[in-house]
Chains A and B, each alone.
Chain A
Amino acid sequence: MTELALPINQAASSPVLAPRRRFMALRRLAAHRSFQIGLCLVVLLAVAAIFAPFITGIDPSAMKVRLRFKPPSEAFLFGSDSFGRDVLTRVLYGARVSLWIGLVVAVLSGLCGAIIGVLAAQFRGFDALLMRLMDALMSFPAILLALGITAALGPRMESVIIALTVAYVPAGARIVRASALVVRELDYVQAARIAGASDLRIMFRHILPNSVSPLLVHMTFVFAYSILAEAALSFLGVGVQPPTASWGNIIAEGRDYATEAWWVMLFPGLGISLAALGLNLLGDGLRDVLDPRLKAG
């Protein structure tokens, strides 16, 4: 039986086309509705956090006992709390802490996950050990694990970062390992191996760059989860400690008089929700564009 001897349209897998594909991905991202909304939200919150001192000009811990529990007004846009502190100012400064923790956890856990995942995929001897370790870490509910670690390390911002990083590394490692295992079998990686490229070169030059997309998507979601988890830890009293404002501990403080002064806990909660919403939208957009298997969504 004969095939039609016609030149076949080259499939897009050729490495020569990669830059063009990357450009296409960027263009599709820019046109993606949830990515647009998510990006706007995240940028807006980040700008508000970074420029907090210029936006309010009030000291976040300045107490004015005369001005306790003022409802939102022109003077106090978000009202004031039990110490007479400006809630808007505290929410803005809290954003710095909460967003910073989320960002650092996302980046750190992504990096550690990438290293562990690639090591497990490349050096098969390590694989079983590393993956059982990840399984073990994943056996603890994330928030409980983080709770235990922050409890042991002491309630500080650094503890929260370490705890959440440990809690979110296993998922990242699994994702990188899974995609690395696929990539290392691809023809061009095999070709590089046959051509004598070292393990390290193959790992960093070929496998890692190709596992980046799913990891990036994952990191965006970890960013969102970390903000939620930090808030929960601080709410439980083992996270960021007052007087340093974080979204979680403002809610915890405001909780006791939530019925009378609802504004104290309302606005930081909105902050968390908007940040997590923005990041989730961003992650959805990235996933749709970067993960072709799920592009139907």
Chain B
Amino acid sequence: MARLTLMKLLQAVPVILIVSVLAFLLMSLLPGDPAVVIAGDQASPEAIEQVRRNLGLDRPFLEQLGIWFLHLLQGQFGSSLMLNQTVLSAMGERLPVTLSLAGLSIAITLPIGIFVGSIAAYYRQTWVDSLIMGVALLGVSIPGFWIAILSVIVFSVILGWLPSSGYVPIDQSAIEWLRAMILPAIMLSLFQIGFLARMTRSAMLDVLSQDFIRTARSKGLSEWTTVGKHAFRNALILVITTMGILLSTALGGSVVIEQVFALPGVGRLVVQGILARDYPLVQGVMLIYGFVFVAINLAVDLLYTVADPRVRYD
């Protein structure tokens, strides 16, 4: 297993390199002269020149790439143009919001998605299965931001139960934090629950049709032990592999949900950055998210290895 871990770690190195290069290349996608695009159409030639020099765009391409890597090695992820702040500190301020949102959403998603998916598999081709899978299908089909806007209208505007926007830090008031986050988190979870329930069901169906389930029944084990212990542990291994996708869609979806609920998170920062043509900011955030997900995928891989004895010992 140590060898496997080492191998996975080694595999992550080129991925990190490629992620860095991809983020770097983002700027070169800009049509025409990036300095002009960033400075804006009405900018004076001096202002454009200023941008060009500040961002090092006057240097040869490979030198730019070299500097990019050098900065990364020093932990510099660039600076925002509109905020007069480094990308790291800008992100740091907004990360609690995004993590609250994504974390709460995952906390809602995991138990519900796995439970209803397992129930649907166990009662396959009955009305229970049809009902659960029908709802799950709606979850992965309805656009999250649209249902989120509708939910604001219903719960905030019409019923007045919850605030329609804004964020309260958890250390200020846990209750207000929850009131502010619960609706966005649920809206973010709808797709995820649907997705996870569908994955869990198909993993469970796969496992329930295996011979060792029949063996478990032939021992006289109850349905609860057969399904809850023998089947579930195997299905869980398959579900673990979807954790990366789940976290990825949670953070991706938070970009849109933060916009709907006016939550000052990283997603909203990116959108503001894009609209203000603050490309170094966008680049920096993407790079950091890229790194985070290389790490998350690595962790999921390793978790998978721990969970599956077939891999653990080989």
Q: Are A280 and B19 in contact (CB under 8 A)?
A: no
> Smallest Cβ distance from B40 to chain A, in angstroms?
14
Contact residues in B for A293 (Cβ distance below 8 Å): 206
Report 8 cross-chain contacts, Cβ distance below 8 Å, ordered by A residue: A139-B290, A140-B22, A140-B290, A235-B145, A235-B256, A265-B149, A269-B143, A276-B142
Q: Are A152 and B294 in contact (CB under 8 A)?
A: no
Q: Is A53 an interface residue (CB 8 A)?
A: no
Q: Are A276 and B141 in contact (CB under 8 A)?
A: yes
B278's closest neighbor in chain A, by CB?
A151
Q: Are A236 and B149 in contact (CB under 8 A)?
A: no
> Smallest Cβ distance from A272 to chain B, in angstroms?
5
Q: Are B201 and A297 in contact (CB under 8 A)?
A: yes
Q: Are B143 and A272 in contact (CB under 8 A)?
A: yes
Q: Is A277 an interface residue (CB 8 A)?
A: yes
Contact residues in B for A276 (Cβ distance below 8 Å): 140-143
Size of interface on A: residues with Cβ below 8 Å to B: 48
> Smallest Cβ distance from A253 to chain B, in angstroms?
12
Q: Is A142 an interface residue (CB 8 A)?
A: yes
Q: Are B15 and A135 in contact (CB under 8 A)?
A: yes
B147-188: CB near A (< 8 Å → 1, else 0) gives 101100100010000000000000000000000000000000
> Smallest Cβ distance from B91 to chain A, in angstroms?
13
Q: Complex: how many Å from CA A140 to CA B18?
A: 12
Size of interface on B: residues with Cβ below 8 Å to A: 53
> Smallest Cβ distance from B183 to chain A, in angstroms?
15
Q: Are B15 and A265 in contact (CB under 8 A)?
A: no
Taking A269-B143, A276-B142, A294-B206 as contacts, is the C-beta distance between A141 and B271 under 8 angstroms? no
Contact residues in A for B142 (Cβ distance below 8 Å): 269, 272-273, 276
Q: Is B62 an interface residue (CB 8 A)?
A: no
B291's closest neighbor in chain A, by CB?
A139
Would you list which residues of chain A between 105 and 155 have a CB under 8 Å from chain B? 128, 132-133, 135-145, 147-149, 151-154
The one of B26, B140, B143, B290 in contact with A136, judged by C-beta atoms closer than 8 angstroms, is B290
> Smallest Cβ distance from B44 to chain A, in angstroms?
23
Q: Complex: how many Å from CA A7 to CA B146?
A: 61
Q: Is B286 an interface residue (CB 8 A)?
A: yes
The one of B19, B249, B279, B293 in contact with A151, judged by C-beta atoms closer than 8 angstroms, is B279
A144-181: CB near B (< 8 Å → 1, else 0) gives 11011101111000000000000000000000000000
Contact residues in A for B143 (Cβ distance below 8 Å): 228, 231-232, 251, 269, 272-273, 276
Contact residues in B for A280 (Cβ distance below 8 Å): 137, 140-141
Q: Is B6 an interface residue (CB 8 A)?
A: no
Query: Most chain-B CB neighbours within 10 Å: which of A137, A151, A262?
Result: A151
> Smallest Cβ distance from A23 to chain B, in angstroms?
25
Binding stretch for chain A, among B27-35, B47-55, B108-116, B216-224: B27-35
Q: Is A296 an interface residue (CB 8 A)?
A: yes
B252's closest neighbor in chain A, by CB?
A141
A237's closest neighbor in chain B, by CB?
B275
Q: Complex: how many Å from CA A297 to CA B30?
A: 46
Q: A141-B289, A147-B271, A152-B279 are in contact. List 7 more A-B contacts (CB 8 A).
A: A132-B14, A135-B294, A235-B259, A236-B255, A238-B271, A255-B149, A259-B157
Q: Complex: how many Å from CA A208 to CA B24?
A: 34
A234-251: CB near B (< 8 Å → 1, else 0) gives 011110000000000001
Q: Complex: how many Å from CA A269 to CA B138?
A: 13
> Smallest Cβ distance from A210 to chain B, in angstroms?
21
Q: Are A231 and B146 in contact (CB under 8 A)?
A: yes
Q: Are A139 and B145 in contact (CB under 8 A)?
A: no
Q: Complex: how many Å from CA A228 to CA B195?
A: 14
Q: Complex: how many Å from CA A139 to CA B289?
A: 8
A260-297: CB near B (< 8 Å → 1, else 0) gives 00100110010011001100110010000000011011
Would you list which residues of chain B between 284 and 308 have a CB under 8 Å from chain A? 286, 289-291, 293-294, 297
Q: Are B27 and A152 in contact (CB under 8 A)?
A: yes
Q: Complex: how many Å from CA A152 to CA B138?
A: 33
> Smallest Cβ distance from B164 to chain A, in angstroms?
10
Would you list which residues of chain A between 187 and 246 have a CB under 8 Å from chain B? 224, 228, 231-232, 235-238
Q: Are B249 and A141 in contact (CB under 8 A)?
A: yes
The one of B18, B141, B271, B290 in contact with A273, judged by C-beta atoms closer than 8 angstroms, is B141
B274's closest neighbor in chain A, by CB?
A151
Q: Is A258 an interface residue (CB 8 A)?
A: yes
Q: Are B259 and A236 in contact (CB under 8 A)?
A: yes
Taking A232-B143, A236-B259 as contacts, is the C-beta distance between A142 and B248 under 8 angstroms? yes
Q: Are A151 and B282 in contact (CB under 8 A)?
A: yes
Q: Is B242 an interface residue (CB 8 A)?
A: no
The 9 closest A-B pairs by CB, nearest first: A141-B252, A136-B18, A269-B146, A152-B29, A143-B252, A276-B141, A277-B141, A151-B274, A139-B293
Q: Complex: how many Å from CA A232 to CA B249?
A: 13
Contact residues in B for A138 (Cβ distance below 8 Å): 248, 293, 297
